């Protein structure tokens, strides 16, 4: 069965389930998207990695990465292999230096780990035919950079939240960013990071 490579397009608040998020995956060579509803913890774990933020203490998925690498175990790919009653089933294909092993995982956890291990994500044509949709997604980050990067859609940021950083220089912003990360205020850190990125792209 041929595998189709997927990339993480972004995360947004779910319009159908309160407190949930929609993780959007896109096929690498095509227009189809797969929206997957995930929980808040997993959404935070994925968003932090997409934004390039470094928590002062390892989150659960970071701990898994550190633990696995310490014992010579690597995740070489993630496979989303089944869709049943709206639930996606995934496997981590791991290698311990001697043989490949397949481990079942929730798809949200599998994606969070794939981003940390920098391994590819695959699915099947059958799953794309069942769940794939073609939509015109307007990335929120397009104004801050011409590069095509995964976007993370957060809660609507108020004008006052953005304006209070506009008069600060980049060094002050970086200090605030470090402080926000240290205090594990990741939403605030993300806003500051966006402002730094906007300055650097000008």
CATH number at residue 40: 3.10.690.10
Residue 158's pLDDT is what? 46
User: What is the pLDDT tens value at each position of the chain, 202 positions in all?
Assistant: 689 999 999 888 776 666 788 899 999 988 899 989 898 889 889 988 988 888 888 889 999 999 999 999 999 999 999 999 889 999 999 998 888 999 999 999 999 999 999 999 999 999 998 888 876 544 444 433 333 334 444 444 445 555 677 778 888 888 887 787 777 666 677 777 777 777 777 6
The answer to whether residue 127 sits within a structural domain is yes
Residues 21 and 105 in one domain: yes
pLDDT on residue 150: 42
24 and 94 inside one domain: yes
Asked if residue 90 belongs to a domain, the reply is: yes
Query: What is the pLDDT, as a whole number, of residue 136?
Result: 53
Quick one: 14 exposed, middle or buried, by C-beta within 10 A (0-12, 13-18, 19+)? middle
Q: Report how far Cα 133 is from the mean position of its chain's Cα atoms.
A: 19
Same domain, 164 and 64: no
What does each C-alpha distance from 201 to 108, 161, 194 come to in angstroms? 31, 20, 10
pLDDT at 105: 96
On whether both 124 and 168 belong to a single domain, the answer is no
Provide the number of structural domains found in the chain. 2
**86 and 13, same domain (yes or no):** yes
The answer to whether the beta carbons of residues 109 and 66 sit under 8 Å apart is: no
Q: Judge if 105 and 73 occupy the same domain.
A: yes
Q: Are residues 31 and 73 in the same domain?
A: yes
pLDDT at residue 186, as a whole number:
64
124 and 36 in a common domain: yes
Structural domain contains residue 149: no
Residue 104 belongs to a domain: yes
81 and 168 both lie in a single domain:
no
Q: Which helix (H) or strand (E) holds 145?
A: none
- Report CA torsion sign: 30, 35, 41, 44: positive
Is the domain of 174 the same as that of 76?
no
Whether this model's pTM surpasses 0.85: no
Domain that holds residue 14: 3-134
Give the pLDDT confidence score for residue 159 in this predicted structure.
52
């Amino acid at each position: 069965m041929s595998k189709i490579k997927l990339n993480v397009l972004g995360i947004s608040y779910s319009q159908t389930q309160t407190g949930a998020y929609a993780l959007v995956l896109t096929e690498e060579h095509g227009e189809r998207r797969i929206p997957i509803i995930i929980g808040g913890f997993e959404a935070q774990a994925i968003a932090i990695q997409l934004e390039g933020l470094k928590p002062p203490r390892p989150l659960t998925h970071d701990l898994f990465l550190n633990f696995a690498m310490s014992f010579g175990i690597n995740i070489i790919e993630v496979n989303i292999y089944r869709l049943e009653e709206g639930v996606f089933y995934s496997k981590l294909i791991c290698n311990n230096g001697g043989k490949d092993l397949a481990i079942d995982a929730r798809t949200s956890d599998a994606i969070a780990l794939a981003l940390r291990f920098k391994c590819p994500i695959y699915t099947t044509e059958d799953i794309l035919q069942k769940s794939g949709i073609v939509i015109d997604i307007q990335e929120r980050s397009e104004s801050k950079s011409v590069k095509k990067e995964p976007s993370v859609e957060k809660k609507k940021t108020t004008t006052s939240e953005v304006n209070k950083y506009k008069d600060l220089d980049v060094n002050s912003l970086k200090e605030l960013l470090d402080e926000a990360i240290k205090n594990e205020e990741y939403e605030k850190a993300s806003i500051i990071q966006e402002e730094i990125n906007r300055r650097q792209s000008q």
